[in-house]
Chain A
């Protein structure tokens, strides 16, 4: 079956613009995660969903970041009024249950000019 897909793969935004990043997890996976990966660093946790419930959003860096998963499948990460420090690769991962490996998508590289 298909893996985790993310779109767009690349996004260039002007400072102050809003962006929306999409994640399609593996069908049937209950858990969905968003991570932010700065250049040369390890991924850092942003937020986590179990089905449609957002159980942990402790990693969101500011109130400009918002994520949703309204029907328990596709998720969208929205960043309002983008800043240069938001430039990073945003990774989405899904997992069938806790402790199982997380399957990662290819990421969206966001560049804020």
Chain B
């Protein structure tokens, strides 16, 4: 079974600064998808960024980028120029590629606070 570990329950960052959230995972599969989801206090989960394991290039979405280290099974999220609206719970998630294994396995989350 796959597992996802987020070792930082809480993080804080000054507005406009950069912060990195950590995620490690364990799997025996060679191909899979990794996601970072954001859950603001309203609780609607929204996608931040997606990485396909077979792609060596790290995914980027505007101020959000990942550092994907497949051999180390590490998938960290970097948020640049942090904004007040970035405050939320951030969840790292794993999605297998095998047919019938479409569920997301989530980490326990990191609560990000933005300091004005």
Contacts and interface: CB of A to CB of B under 8 A. Distances in A.
A48 interface: yes
B51 to A, nearest CB: 11
Nearest to A9: B43
Is the interface on chain B under 10, 10 to 19, 20 to 34, or 35 or more residues? Answer: 20 to 34
A62 interface: no
A20 interface: no
B45 A42 contact: no
A48 B103 contact: yes
A104 interface: yes
Interface string B93-110: 001010111111111110
A93 to B, nearest CB: 8
Interface in A4-45: 31, 33, 35, 40-45
B91 A43 contact: yes
Interface of A: 31, 33, 35, 40-45, 48, 50, 55-56, 59, 89, 91, 93, 95, 98-99, 101-102, 104-107
